[in-house]
Amino acid sequence: ASLLGEWQRRNATRTLPHCVDQLDASGALDNLRRVTGEVGGAHQNMWFADSDVYKTLEAAAWQLGRTPDDAALRSFVDSTAALLAGAIDADGYLNSHITLVKPEQRWQELHWSHELYCAGHLIQAAVAAARAGVGAELLPTARRFADLIVARFSAVDDVDGHPEIETALVELYRVTGHRPYLDLARRFLDLRGHGLLNGERFGSAYLQDHVPVRRAQAVAGHVVRQLYLLAGVVDVAVETHDDELLDAAHRLWDDAFGAKTYLTGAQGSRHRDEAFGDPYELPPDRAYGETCAGIASFQWNWRMLLATGDARYADEMERALHNVIAGSTALDGTHFFYSNPLHLRTGHDGSHEDAPSQRLPWYSCACCPPNLARLVASLSGYAVTTDHSGLQVHLYAAGTVETTVDGSAVRVSTRTDYPWDGRVELTVATEAPLVLALRMPGWCPVADVRVDGAPVQAGAVRDGYLRLRRDWSGGATVTLDLPMPARVVRPHPRIDAVRGCVALTRGPLVYCLEQADLPAGVTLEDVRVDPAAPIAVDRLADIPVVLRARGAIEQPGSAALYTASAPTAPRTEPLALTAVPYFLWGNRVPGPMRVWLPVTTTG
C-alpha cells in the first residue's frame, strides 16, 4: 500500500477505534448520557469535551463512506446520533457542560464557553454524515441547533471566543442550501474584532478580537483559533463573492507563510498562549506546532486552493500533511503528539504533558487525536478535484478516482510510491476531451512528464499546474517524474533561532537526526553537518528512504557558557550521519532529535 493508503488503513483500524474507546473512558460520552439521564454523576473532562465526540463522529462518518461494512463503526455512529437526538433540548440547544453545570450561563460566557465551537463541530459531523450517506439522524439534530443559533445570533451581537462555527455554517449552507446559515457565518466574521469578547485573561488578540479580520495585517493570537477563523473567511468570501474578505485571507496568508511557519508546516512559535510569535520567531526546540494547528492550516490552504487554483496552497497542504501532521501520530496509530517541536534537546524535561519526549496515548485536552482521525479519514477528498473543464490532481498517492467531468465518466488510476519515489503513473480512461491538471510541487524545479512515453512541454504550467488538454479516448498513461535528490535547505537569515544551520529534505519530506542513529556517547547538540558534501539515499529496516550525509562531532573547546577569549577550536571528529524522515521520529527509542543541523565550522 502507498503511504497515504497505509495511513488511512491505520487510521481506520487503530486510531479511530482508539478515539471511540477514549471517548468512553474519558467520560465525554457519559456527559451527553447525563443530559439524557442515562447516566448519573457530575460532568467530567473539559468543558468543551462534546467537541471530541463530534470530531470522532465526523471521522467515523468519513470512514463509513469508505468502509460501509464496518459494523462497529456504524454502531458507534448510529448510537451516538441517537444519543445526540435524545440530548438536544426541546428548543434545540445542545451542550452538556452548560446544561449540566451552569444552565443559567447559556450564551453568557462565550469568550470561554466554546458553545458555538462545539456546535460547529456537531455541524461538521452532520455535514460529513450527510455527504457520506450515514447517520441520517445527525443532520436534523445539527440543523435544530443551527436554527436556534440563527434565531438568537441574528438578533444579538455576540461571537464565540473559539472560531469554528463560521466554516461549519457555510458547510451546512452548502449541504442544505439554506441561506441564513451563510448569512450568520458572515455576520460572525464581521462582529469579530470589535471587542465583544471579554479578553481579560489572555488579551483580545488571543481571540482574534483585536481588529476586524477585514483590516487585519497579521496573523495573531491562539493559532488554531486564527486558522479556523481564516477557513471561515475563505468560505464566506467564496460563497458571497466578497473580494475584500478574500484579500484579507491573502494578506494574512502572506504573513503566516512568509514569516511564521516552520519548515515542517507547523505553526505556533509559543507554548505560552499557544500563539503565533513575532515575525521570524521560529525556535525549533520551543516550537509549539500544535497538531490541530497543522490540521487547521491544511484546511485553510485547501480553501485557498479551491478559491484560487494556485498550487502554492497545495504545496503547503503537502508540507503540513507529510511532516507536522504525519509526525504527530506514532506508527502504532494510538500515540500522539500535541506539540510538534523540531528539536528535542539532550536533557529535555518532558514531564509536562504539552511537551513530552514521546507520544502519549491521550491528553486531558484531547482535541488533537480526533482531529487527526477526521482528517485522515477524509484525506482522499483532498487529493483530486474536478471542474467543468477537467480534473486536477493536488496530492499524489496510489489509488483510483472514478468521477464525472461535464457529464462524462472519468477514471484515473495512479501508481506511485510517492513520497518515497517521485515517479507517478496516471492511467486516464475517459471518452471526452478534458484537461488533466497535475500539480508541479514547489520543491521540484524540473519535472519530466510524458504521455504514453512522449515528452510534454513544461510550458503548459500555470499557477503551478501542468495542464494536459487532450482527447483521452482510448485511454492514455501519463508519467510524471519528479526528481527527488536530497536537498540542503537554508533558512531566511532573520530566523535567528536556526542561523548557521541547514535542514535536509527530499521531495516533500523533511528529515531529522535522531539520537538512535548516533554512536554511543555522542551528544546530539555537538553534531555538525557538512552541507557541501554529497548526500546519499539509502534505506533502513523500517524506513524506506534515509539520507546519509557527512558531518562531524565538534566538542566545544571550553565549557564556559560565554567567553571573551579568542574562540577555541573545537575537538573535531568526522561522523557519518543518517537522517530519517521527521514524521517517523520517536518511533524507535525515545531520545533527542533535531531537524536544523549546525554546519561544520570548517565545512
- Which of 321, 303, 371, 291 shows the shortest CA–CA distance to 121? 371
Indicate which single residue of 493, 520, 541, 589 sits in contact with a copy of itself (rule: CB under 8 A): 493
β-strands 597-598, 546-555: how paired? Answer: unpaired
Q: Rounded to the nearest whole angstrom, what is the least distance from the CB of residue 319 to a copy of itself in the complex?
A: 10
346 lies in the site for a copy of itself, by CB under 8 A: yes
Q: Rounded to the nearest whole angstrom, what is the least distance from the CB of residue 35 to a copy of itself in the complex?
A: 27
Q: Which stretch binds a copy of itself (CB under 8 A): 73-81, 96-104, 463-471, 487-495?
A: 487-495
Indicate which single residue of 65, 268, 289, 491 sits in contact with a copy of itself (rule: CB under 8 A): 491
348 lies in the site for a copy of itself, by CB under 8 A: yes
Whether residue 274 lies in the annotated active site: yes
Q: Rounded to the nearest whole angstrom, what is the least distance from the CB of residue 127 to a copy of itself in the complex?
A: 34
Provide the 3-class DSSP secondary structure of residue 461: strand
Based on CB atoms, which residue is closest to a copy of itself, 178 or 251? 251
Q: Rounded to the nearest whole angstrom, what is the least distance from the CB of residue 71 to a copy of itself in the complex?
A: 40
Based on CB atoms, which residue is closest to a copy of itself, 241 or 352? 352
Strand order in the sheet with 448-451: 399-405, 408-416, 423-430, 476-481, 448-451, 454-455
Q: Which stretch binds a copy of itself (CB under 8 A): 129-137, 182-190, 455-463, 490-498?
A: 490-498
Q: Rounded to the nearest whole angstrom, what is the least distance from the CB of residue 284 to a copy of itself in the complex?
A: 8
H/E element holding 571? strand 571-581
β-strands 433-439, 390-393: how paired? Answer: parallel
Indicate which single residue of 551, 570, 581, 591 sits in contact with a copy of itself (rule: CB under 8 A): 570
How many of the chain's residues bind a copy of itself (CB under 8 A)? Answer: 66
Q: Rounded to the nearest whole angstrom, what is the least distance from the CB of residue 272 to a copy of itself in the complex?
A: 4
Active-site residue among 58, 115, 274, 514? Answer: 274
Based on CB atoms, which residue is closest to a copy of itself, 437 or 484? 484
Based on its alpha-carbon atoms, the radius of gyration of the chain, rounded to whole angstroms, reads 25
Residue 172: CB atoms within 10 A of its CB come to: 26
Q: Which of residues 454-473 bind a copy of itself (CB under 8 A)?
A: none
Indicate which single residue of 155, 177, 352, 589 sits in contact with a copy of itself (rule: CB under 8 A): 352
Indicate which single residue of 104, 351, 407, 459 sits in contact with a copy of itself (rule: CB under 8 A): 351
Q: Rounded to the nearest whole angstrom, what is the least distance from the CB of residue 27 to a copy of itself in the complex?
A: 17
The C-alpha atoms of residue 481 and residue 296 are separated, in whole angstroms, by 30
Q: Which stretch binds a copy of itself (CB under 8 A): 66-74, 146-154, 376-384, 553-561?
A: 553-561
Indicate which single residue of 191, 451, 489, 537 sits in contact with a copy of itself (rule: CB under 8 A): 489
Q: Cβ distance 245 to 223 under 8 Å?
A: no
φ, ψ dihedrals at 427, nearest 5°: -100, 120
All residues at 6 or more sequence positions from 59 whose CB lies less than 8 Å from its CB, including other chains: 11, 16, 19, 370, 373, 374, 376, 377, 378
Q: Which of residues 194-213 bind a copy of itself (CB under 8 A)?
A: 202-203, 205, 210
394, three cell numbers = 493536488
Active-site residue among 19, 292, 367, 501? Answer: 367
The DSSP result for 70-93, as a single string, is -HHHHHHHHHHHHHHHHHS-TTS-
Based on CB atoms, which residue is closest to a copy of itself, 563 or 602? 563
Residue 68: CB atoms within 10 A of its CB come to: 13
Q: Rounded to the nearest whole angstrom, what is the least distance from the CB of residue 304 to a copy of itself in the complex?
A: 17
Based on CB atoms, which residue is closest to a copy of itself, 284 or 390? 284
Indicate which single residue of 446, 541, 561, 589 sits in contact with a copy of itself (rule: CB under 8 A): 561
Q: Cβ distance 524 to 513 under 8 Å?
A: yes
Based on CB atoms, which residue is closest to a copy of itself, 141 or 269? 269
Q: Cβ distance 544 to 550 under 8 Å?
A: no
The C-alpha atoms of residue 100 and residue 95 are separated, in whole angstroms, by 8
* Integer CA distances (angstroms), 480 to 71, 319, 386, 455, 468, in order: 39, 19, 20, 10, 12
Alpha helices in 107-194 (DSSP H): 110-113, 115-132, 138-153, 165-176, 179-191
For residues 256 to 295, the per-residue mask of contacts with a copy of itself, x marking binding by CB under 8 A and - elsewhere, is: -xxx-x-x------xxxx---xxxxx-xxxx---------
Residue 210: CB atoms within 10 A of its CB come to: 18
192 lies in the site for a copy of itself, by CB under 8 A: no
445, three cell numbers = 524545479
Count CA within 13 A, CB hemisphere, residue 263.
33
Based on CB atoms, which residue is closest to a copy of itself, 400 or 563? 563
Whether residue 118 lies in the annotated active site: no
Residues in contact with a copy of itself by the rule CB under 8 A: 202-203, 205, 210, 218, 220, 257-259, 261, 263, 270-273, 277-281, 283-286, 343, 345-349, 351-352, 443, 487-501, 503, 505, 523, 525-526, 554, 556, 558-564, 567, 570, 596, 598
Q: Which residues are annotated as catalytic?
A: 274, 367
